[in-house]
Structure 1
């Protein structure tokens, strides 16, 4: 409930005298906005106010707009950015009457269903328990519609104070000073006397309307039309007769390096209500550069009234030193001059910007077509980055298409830096980089965009003019350095292109396991290697892991590597056991008439049972890290490298995986060099794996690669076996070729369904079993096997036979046809069906949902 508090008066007290003294010490060189902010800060110091704000009429006199504020966030008390001048809000009534108002609001609750209760003022008839509305809402309290809110501030937060006091003091009929304090007795007699004094000072400091103040402007954000005075035209060196009223005419004089920062202020697409300030350079008619300082504020639009940017421009040439920024730019330029690789360039930018800007994270990415390839993330921990930017870029080259981030795409297309304050509405991939503020710097070079740099802050961050200039200069230097690094480091570009083409872009999601991979090319000369890895999902919750190395470092080795990876994947998908897969690959390589050979290690893991079989073809053995931290280098007999002996044996060896076990496969570049033999290198790898935390597998991989030998390629594949949370139930039946075979298969299926408690789908399942088993017996020779698998919500029927021919669904069946309806029945009774190759034959499967 709100009560009117009568005005009081008091003789000047100690605080008032101190406020008078503080006003006298304000420097005479402050511009109107700086002086007004200083006075509002004195309101907070010398009175009980927690929020102080000044509202001034706009150019047309139709609205009172927030010009400056200080203290805690004003929306905690429901203060809006703008109020209609003819409205009933206390702000408007005080400006019209010229008399101060002292108001009190009580009984406010944080979890009210509506907006905060309006502070009462003379003539308002507040009702206890009324729905809450803004403290200065533009309507009487007693005439509020349920669910309504002020049109000028539709996103007001809920009030946090239980009660508060409100003081509204006129500023010589040009606006008003608003002070808010916690509690119903926040402003005593001396507070009010002190506020009268500070309001008088604020009236003298408040910026005059644009038409009456030197070097001022009033920009309509929708049309770009700008009203300026003679002083501003003189600063820009433009005569009255030569100015056409377009903001583009003024912007055209800006130094190109400062244009992105200036456009971020005057572009309507990125605006939010609030103060704006920056420094920029213009080119004078003499060809010399001149520093200008822009101070302004965005005023909200309304009905038939566009949003506007109003403010002043001053000569900043004598005020600006920028020595620290110049030194930083010089250090960055020196570091970039010696940066040989793209990663060196990225690290130099991080070193030059992150600490000076006190940023929480920086990402640099190269632009390749419509895709961003991340070159550095700082800090490197995955959990501090959104999914698309995480540190696994080094192996999986995450696909970050620019089209998925429209804000970034616009910045790259237009070549302008983008700066967004806290709370800006951005796509998640960008908003999570800088929740307290985000800067997106396009990196231009040679007439095109070389990439982008993202700088993010967690806490609300103010972008000062010196900081904007530093970002602009750094983006130009980094873009040019990236282009030089491409030319200087052509061999790494070639390696990256080949690896992105021949290696998996992403690893698949595995049932009951997590896998990560890394590949590091050699840094020695113009050489391309033949190391590769692969992760292959197989039927029945099996997964195949492959890692290999083709002899040599050249394009031929890389090409052969791609062929071997494709061949091994094809043989694995056909359903062969590990020894047969590797034997087939060996014969293929022997038939290719190449002088090169390859080593590989192939592992087939049963994710349901936690068991595995592996084969080594001249390759180093796997390394296991058990859940207790102990490690084991698997010792087993292996076969010769692929492509050496036509009739070679590749014996299989078992592995046992318990939940929490990490399996590491790598190439010799990680464990062997001129200074260390392979046995010692494996021991060192096992020790580092034992000390690592398997919960963050990507970090483990990065740690293991920290001391890698860069004279050779390195491939690393890690998998952590977690075990399947839900294991399917399986049963199988060998179908004998006897007249009663189909009936036997049906009776067996019925018994299994009864045991599993799946009688509800028995009719559909039995019909599918009859059709699949009949087709296998009639159209194939050899062994036939029926497999039944119960998953969480479906039952899978599979029939395997020795024929590789896939059944074909007929398109048309005439009335006289005696066959061809079986597959149509299977399709009708199941949610999905298909075939997969199995050891020279095939398996036809169908899935029936369980309700």
Structure 2
């Protein structure tokens, strides 16, 4: 037997000769540092002793004691016992430990000690391994809650009942309780300052071990009457602490013959509480990042899709749910001049908030280029240059389709993206091969900005399916197999376009996957009955009076031939005003186009296109002014009018509703 004196302020431990003999250590081999004893104490025993001493210093205990094993210089092991008294200053801070160590090999037989030690270690290892393995698969807070609510969760802890609450805005929200029937009414939400055990451990940041029913009844008289019928004999309430702040509390309630907690059991429960807290914090951070990225991406996607006459459109976005965050998938529908529509599907490289941010910028500029009237190939090339010049290393795949619902003509450009599908009215779906170029960003980097254009024609009832690769990529299967699977899925799916879009998302959700998915379906509706009339166009040079006179003659002849009736003079006046305005205020000539629009009513459209991007301005002419009345006339005489960008210039247009044939016959 020997003694020691441990100065906690300096860290030095003085040991007398007897204590050194217990550790089988020479005086010249010990330098006063407790770490020097590490070569004698077995590793597992050393960690257990450290935890025991730390807990005694933290919980205000004035003494501790423990058995442990050491290894002598000869390699044999023997049992040793230590007792320590903790001395504290006036403020309660521990400053010194004095105690004894003694040889306990005669006190404990090796076999009995080994049996108890091995059994205790086996139980501790089983609980730790089981809980850790279960928490390793939990990605969200709900996963952890489901684990603790499960009956197997109670088996991990050896408890009869379990409760867990999360700290939310100064209140404790009870999110898990088990088994069924253990919930105490009125405790779903409680304040931290209320007299409940979870509130106490959150306030003090210290575990609360309740040793007996009497201890429970005396400590928490408000709660005890509600749970006394459950046969609870002891309980452990643990604060869930992450990054030095409480995030909740865990309560384990025991029944039967179980009373009290040994030092090892307390240490074990504290360690498990810490593991659960770390898992909860990880899940909370994951959900916050996921929600942030998903919110960012949803904000970047178009809030609503405009109705486009002559088409049905359905769009969907499904975020990734396994292993990754939100990605850069997007869709867009762009109304274009002349009743045409642009359809976009794309995917920015990566699965994070940066990918979502790049996606938003790319979607906006691609929409702007398309709305300016550029051709599909030019839209794609300019978008690639923009992405290349953006401060990012990301690239993007994309497909852009420009469709005219009136004629069914579709021009498609593909930048490294998967081929679209076409569905026939009978449901049959097939792959639509589209010539492609490099992904956006890469084509600009390698100076390969020539994107080929594939032209197809959609018949009434046919559907163009655009999607990102997350829809067809399956583990262990190549892209062709994925496209065949998608074609079969579309064929078996609903005929209604919105229901088909939902069906595709539901199947992908059931299949899981590590990538997000965007879907755009565009169906051409039945064509309107053909109208009498057609389309006429003429170029008018800047200094060509004959061309201007010829254009006026063409307008007059077309208006009368197409049966404009009483609006002939109005149409001729407005068309002449728009043409003259283009010649006077722009450099270069103008292109005058007249055409009858398809639809249930007869509408005649006049378009005057020039090479200037300057928009016309409506001005007040004044009482004696001779100019400034042009747009006033257009506004007063036409039913609709507007201005559209056309790539290198603009187009000013106006529309007139003309008489129906039946009305004209009745008038005659």
Structure 2 counterpart SS, 1:489: helix
> Residue 522 of structure 1 corresponds to which residue in structure 2?
320
- Indicate yes or no: 2:631 matched with 1:823: yes
Q: What are structure 2's unaligned runs of at least 5 residues?
A: 1-137, 147-187, 192-279, 660-668
Q: Does 1:782 align with 2:585?
A: no
Q: Does the residue aligned with 1:645 lie in a helix, a strand or coil?
A: helix
User: What is the Cα deviation at residue 628 of structure 1?
Assistant: 3.0
- Partner in structure 2 of residue 643 of structure 1: 441
The CA deviation string for residues 314-346 of structure 1, in whole angstroms up to 9 with x for no partner, is xxxxxxxxxxxxxxxxxxxxxxxx995889999
Residues 550 and 612 of structure 1: CA distance in aligned 2, closer, same or farther (over 3 Å) = same
1:606 is matched with which residue?
A: 404
Kindly state the Cα deviation for residue 583 of structure 1 after the two structures are TM-superposed: 0.8
| 1:491 Cα offset (Å) | 3.8
Partner of 2:425: helix, strand, or coil?
coil
1:804 maps onto 2:613 in alignment: yes
Q: Secondary structure at the match of 2:557?
A: helix
Q: Taking CA–CA contacts closer than 8 Å with sequence separation of 6 or more, which of the two structures ends up with the larger relative contact order? A: 2
2:349 is the counterpart of 1:543? no
- For residue 722 of structure 1, what is the aligned residue in structure 2? 525
CA distance in 1, matches of 2:621, 2:604: 29
Q: Is the 8 A contact 1:535 1:545 kept in 2?
A: yes
Q: CA offsets, 1:668-710, max 9 Å, x none?
A: 1111143222121111111111122322433444235413542
Normalised TM-score (structure 1): 0.42
**How far apart, in 1, do the equivalents of 2:320 and 2:366 lie?**
25
Distance apart, 1:727 and its partner CA: 6.2
Matched, 1:567 2:368: no
In 2: Cα distance, 1:689 partner to 1:446 partner: 51
- Selected match of 1:668 from 453, 469, 474: 469
State the alpha-carbon separation in 2 of the partners of residues 730 and 588 from structure 1.
40
Q: Where has structure 1 moved over 6 Å in runs of 4 or more?
A: 341-346, 444-447, 483-488
Corresponding residue of 1:735: 539
Total equivalences in the alignment: 381
C-alpha displacement of 1:712 = 0.9
Deviation, structure 1 residue 718: 1.3
Residue by residue over 1:17-76, the C-alpha shift from the partner in whole angstroms, topping out at 9 and shown as x without a partner, is xxxxxxxxxxxxxxxxxxxxxxxxxxxxxxxxxxxxxxxxxxxxxxxxxxxxxxxxxxxx
Q: 1:699 to 1:612 in 2, by over 3 A?
A: closer
2:294 to 496, 507, 523: 496
Identify if the C-alpha distance between structure 1 residues 829 and 563 changes in structure 2 by more than 3 Å, giving closer, same or farther.
same
Instruction: Confirm or deny that 1:656 pairs with 2:656.
Output: no
Tell me how far 1:645 sits from its aligned partner: 2.8
- Larger deviation, residues 700-709 vs 569-578: 700-709
| Distance in 2, Cα, partners of 1:343 & 1:601 | 38
* Residue of structure 2 in register with 1:693 after alignment: 494
Instruction: Describe the SS at the equivalent of 2:443.
Output: coil
Which of structures 1 and 2 has the bigger CA Rg?
Answer: 2
Work out the CA distance in 1 between the residues paired with 2:538 and 2:451.
Answer: 30
Instruction: Measure, in 1, the Cα distance between the counterparts of 2:534 and 2:143.
Output: 51
Separation in 1, partners of 2:555, 2:616: 23
Q: Does 1:682 align with 2:491?
A: no
Residues 563-594 of structure 1, C-alpha deviation per residue, up to 9 Å, x if partnerless? 11001110111111211110111111122142
Which residue of 2 is the match for residue 576 of structure 1?
A: 374
Asked whether the equivalents of residues 512 and 721 of structure 1 are also in contact (C-alpha less than 8 Å), the reply is: yes
Residue 794 of structure 1 and its aligned partner are, at CA, apart by 3.8
Instruction: Say yes or no: does 1:840 pair with 2:648.
Output: yes
C-alpha distance 615-345 of structure 1, shift in aligned 2 (>3 A): farther
1:769 has 2:575 as partner: yes
Alpha-carbon displacement from aligned partner over 1:186-224 (angstroms, at most 9, x marks no partner): xxxxxxxxxxxxxxxxxxxxxxxxxxxxxxxxxxxxxxx
Does structure 1 retain, via aligned residues, the 8 Å contact 2:540–2:551? no
Equivalent residues of 1:533, 1:715 under 8 A apart: yes
Please give the residue correspondences for 1:72-83 in structure 2 after superposition, counting only pairs within 5 Å.
none
Using the alignment, how far apart are the partners of 1:341 and 1:580 within structure 2?
48
Q: 1:849 to 1:569 in 2, by over 3 A?
A: same
What TM-score results when the alignment is normalised by the length of structure 2? Answer: 0.53
Contact 1:662–1:694 under 8 Å retained in 2: no
How many Å separate the matches in 2 of 1:603 and 1:743? Answer: 39
Determine the C-alpha separation between the residues in 2 that align with 1:558 and 1:808: 39
* Preserved contact between residue 613 and residue 653 of structure 1 (Cα < 8 Å): yes
Distance 2:461 2:394 in 1: 38
Q: Is the Cα–Cα contact under 8 Å of residues 781 and 803 in structure 1 kept in the other structure?
A: yes
Whole-angstrom distance in 2 between the partners of 1:564 and 1:446: 48
For 1:361-372, list aligned pairs within 5 A: none
Kept in 1: contact 2:324–2:514 (CA 8 A): no
Matched, 1:749 2:555: yes
Q: Deviations over 1:728-752 (max 9, x none)?
A: 7652322332113333222211221
Task: Classify 1:843/1:726 alpha carbon distance in 2 versus 1 (closer, same or farther; 3 Å).
Answer: farther
Q: Distance in 2 between matches of 1:445 and 1:577?
A: 60
Partner of 1:269: none
Change (3 A) 1:446 1:671: farther
Deviation (angstroms), 1:825: 2.1
Distance 1:533 1:713, change over 3 A: same
Q: What is the deviation of 1:814?
A: 5.3
Cα distance, 1:795 vs structure 2: 2.8
In structure 2, what is the Cα distance between the partners aligned to 1:661 and 1:642? Answer: 29
- Structure 1 gaps of 5+ residues are 1-337, 347-443, 448-482
Is the alpha carbon distance of 1:341 and 1:570 closer, same or farther for their aligned partners in structure 2, counting shifts above 3 Å?
A: farther
Q: Deviations over 1:76-114 (max 9, x none)?
A: xxxxxxxxxxxxxxxxxxxxxxxxxxxxxxxxxxxxxxx
Higher helix proportion? 2
CA contact (8 A) 1:694 1:720 kept: no
CA contact (8 A) 1:492 1:523 kept: no
Q: Structure 2 vs 1, CA of residues 752 and 494 (structure 1 numbering), >3 Å: closer, same or farther?
A: same
**Deviation digits for residues 744-789 of structure 1 (CA, Å, limit 9, x no counterpart):** 2222112212222113200100100111011111222334111223
